[in-house]
Structure 1
Amino acid sequence: MDFLSTPIKTAVSTLTQQLDTPFFVYDLDKLNTHLARLMAQTDVKLWYAVKANPLSKIIQSLDNAGFNFDVASKGELEQVLAQGISSERVLNTGPAKSPKQIKHFIARGVRIFVAESLNQVNWLNQHAQQQGIQLQVLLRVQLRWPEGEKNPLGGDSLTPFGLGCDEWQALNTADYPALHFDGLHIFQWGNMLSTQKLSELWSQMINPLTALANTLNITLKILDLGGGLGIPYTRDDNTLQWDELIQALAKIKQDAGVDELWMELGRYAVGECGHYANPVVERKLNYNQQQVILSGGINHLLRPAVTSQDFPVNLLRESQAPLQSMSLYGPLCTALDCLGEHSLPEDLNEQDWLVFSQCGAYGFSESMPYFLCHELASEYVIQNGNISCIRQVEDASHYLR
């Protein structure tokens, strides 16, 4: 699997002649082709999880493809609305819906919410009644399996996302006349790369979820499976096949007996379109370990420190030199600032640039850019073969007061 295409190599090479600090570049031509394929089916209603990448041009591509939008904060909501997207196409998820946030979302026209607690149900009903409106609500359910696994979304661990079936049974839906309880939401696994494993997990959800809906006197019209579809980060990783996934999802939809099946795609929608170019500062030998110090690190790409899974990386220039194991580090004064151990050409030197791929999701907006006051990375897009700057590099004076 080649993570670095010729158009990206050409674009990055051009930009490195003008820049001396790290930057992101997103291939919108590749993204648009991918999104068209995702939308060429009628079994699943697709939402874009804005947390994956809130860049304006990314959102516009999702909008043009026909996606709806899953937002989890006021900032994400305003970014989506700023692109001219109707609030009718917005779903509010996330564990921290305060009364103030709910009031703001309703004032901005949002009418679809995922409730994560009994408090949120109560607050949604209160504000809907005050405005004389009806809201569509899905209850987020957290299930537990003895054979479950852990990952950043929790997996089988206890998390703040939603409530268990027993806890939701305290809800009397008749007490909330301003709310239409149309479905259930469940999302506990991230970056899954096995269609079979996903299908097994989804299938195990059906019985407890339909039983809960019956207990609460909810007509289960909608089942929202969240996201969790993975992309490869190494050449040996599996690659999910969309057609096989759709077949599995169509069966889940039929078995659950719902009118609509929803998914909120983030990484799977945009992850493979993004790249991060990073200049080498120096290379040194330390305790027989080859160490490469880079201009950017977890201040721009935090994911390796959070998940212990690295982004794939290539030397930008061509080299026929043998590969050698090298440990890559960023500029921050913490041992956490490590971008992994990679096999790179042994002639790598201080004039080189490295390009990390699969960075279209959970890249810069998930990072910790302010620590040590380094520059904020610039962001570029390739569209119709043309390179455009969406955000210029900013030094620390941009945000320090």
Structure 2
Amino acid sequence: MHTELETAVLLDQATPQTKLFNKQPLQDKPVYTRSVKQVIKDKLDAMSTQKWELDQENAFFVGDLGEVYRQHLRWKALLPRIEPFFAVKSNPDPMVVKLLASLGIGFDCASKSEIQQVLSSGVESSRIIYANPCKQASFIRFAAQNNVARMTFDNAEELYKIKKLYPNAELLVRILTDDSKSLCQLGLKFGAPLDTVKDLLQTAKELNLNVVGVSFHVGSGCLDENSFADAVVRARWAFDQGEAMGFKFNMLDVGGGFPSGDVTDGITFEKIAAVLGPAVDAMFPSDVRVIAEPGRYYVASAFTVCTHVIGRRTVVTEENETQYMYYVNDGMYGSFNCILFDHQVVHPKVLSRGGNLTFDDKNDDIAINGDERTFNSSIWGPTCDSIDCLAKEANLPVLNDGDWIYWENMGAYTICAASKFNGFKQPEVIYTNTFE
């Protein structure tokens, strides 16, 4: 069996890695320098020569590290004052973490495991914020042992725990904001209401704890750029309370909620930056360090998943309309858990039909020859659970077993939360770098 070897030979026709990664080479896996389309083609061509190899048609990702880098440059251009601390939870892919570590940015970690991963990538403890307001005791001890001092809190019980386990920690009080216009309203779980902030700070003062600033999060998938400006005003109020009580606040954490690179209409990153940047400058002097916790912003548009059509079912409706149900080998219990947990709407596109590549990286449309008829179709994952539906309605040409469907913008809150339910494997990731 030589599937992996022969695939590598095909992919190695491209020169792996470029000067982008010379500062800290990413040696775990090769990084190629071809377009996403070409990498996918090479992968499918390798499969076609190995028809009898086991599992050779498994779903797979292509991760474009060049897109991650483009998003980084975009951030630095539009929000130069605000330092990004990548939210590892969104995609702890080791190559992504190593790339971002090499760029010198910070990291938002929520657990011992995430802290361990970031530290093992060569990141200094000062570049980590333990941004989980309610932490396991042993994890706090681990943070103390590794000098990860910066962490958040939003309740008095957490303060007593930190006093016992890490009294020298540098704390940020996480305040509640208006996240009613976000897809994931984190305020349901975290954030101190403003009318409790004074009491929390008083408790911290009595415990002789070092509170150094304020953090907030407007919710994941924020749909209103003005939510950031409103949150900055609230943070300024909390700063004033702390300073009046004798604290020397020097840090503001504006959290996450930033849209991904594929968002070009509605609430774009440009619109948020145009509101957030000036609001921070107006409310906070230059000696206050400002950080953020972007996650999906960096990675969502960088990953494409390719799924294999493993079955088709023909359905004739009462109106005598022919429809098709397609079954693919990744689903809701795998990379597409984002549909359930992250409120994402995914869009299927035909990748390959009858061995012919139809991927179009110019206009991203389904390639359909002439006036070929399309049908109302649904797409289902491979498990035996009826909720495993990826798209209830999709307008597609007739596909057959062995054809492929691809899904773009699948880099955030996807494979990181995937399970192996029903024994299905998680997709491998092939890396490329399209940055020039």
**Scaled by the length of structure 2, what TM-score is found?**
0.76
User: In structure 2, what is the equivalent of residue 253 of structure 1?
Assistant: 280
| DSSP-derived class of the 1:302 partner | helix
| DSSP-derived class of the 2:134 partner | coil
Identity %: 20
User: In structure 1, what is the equivalent of residue 307 of structure 2?
Assistant: 278
On the 8 A contact 1:305/1:337 being kept in 2, the answer is: no
User: In structure 1, what is the equivalent of residue 13 of structure 2?
Assistant: none
> Size of the alignment, in residue pairs?
366
Does 1:110 find its partner at 2:148? yes
User: In structure 2, what is the equivalent of residue 163 of structure 1?
Assistant: 192
The answer for unaligned runs of 5 or more in structure 1 is 1-5, 386-401
Give the counterpart letter for 2:156 in structure 1. Answer: L
- What is the correspondence of 1:2-401 to structure 2 with a 5 Å cutoff? 7-16=35-44, 17-18=46-47, 19-40=56-77, 41-129=79-167, 134-143=168-177, 148-149=180-181, 151-154=183-186, 159-171=188-200, 172=202, 173-177=204-208, 179-195=209-225, 197-202=226-231, 205-206=234-235, 208-210=237-239, 212-213=241-242, 217-231=246-260, 237-238=265-266, 240-242=268-270, 244-258=271-285, 259-286=288-315, 288=317, 289-298=323-332, 299-316=334-351, 317-318=357-358, 319-320=367-368, 321-367=372-418, 369-383=419-433
| DSSP-derived class of the 1:139 partner | strand
**C-alpha distance in 2 between matches for 1:215 and 1:338:** 54
**C-alpha distance in 2 between matches for 1:46 and 1:247:** 16
Note the C-alpha offset of 1:53: 0.6
Note the C-alpha offset of 1:254: 2.6
User: In structure 2, what is the equivalent of residue 396 of structure 1?
Assistant: none
Distance 1:322 1:83, change over 3 A: farther
**C-alpha distance in 1 between matches for 2:382 and 2:312:** 13
What is the CA RMSD across the aligned residues, in angstroms? 2.6
On the 8 A contact 2:125/2:147 being kept in 1, the answer is: yes
**C-alpha distance in 1 between matches for 2:408 and 2:267:** 15
**C-alpha distance in 1 between matches for 2:343 and 2:211:** 39
Note the C-alpha offset of 1:323: 4.2
**Larger CA deviation: 252-261 vs 81-90:** 252-261
**Scaled by the length of structure 1, what TM-score is found?**
0.83
Note the C-alpha offset of 1:181: 1.1
On the 8 A contact 2:302/2:410 being kept in 1, the answer is: yes
On the 8 A contact 2:140/2:162 being kept in 1, the answer is: yes
| DSSP-derived class of the 1:181 partner | strand
Note the C-alpha offset of 1:273: 0.3
- Structure 1 runs of 4+ aligned residues shifted over 4 Å read 214-217
Deviations, residues 286-320 of structure 1 (Å, cap 9, x unaligned):
35342111111012220112344322321113232
On the 8 A contact 1:43/1:249 being kept in 2, the answer is: no
**C-alpha distance in 1 between matches for 2:301 and 2:280:** 28
User: In structure 2, what is the equivalent of residue 394 of structure 1?
Assistant: none
The structure number with the bigger radius of gyration is: 2
Distance 1:162 1:333, change over 3 A: same
**Larger CA deviation: 84-93 vs 10-19:** 10-19
Give the counterpart letter for 2:280 in structure 1. Answer: K
The answer for unaligned runs of 5 or more in structure 2 is 1-33, 48-55, 318-322, 352-356, 359-366
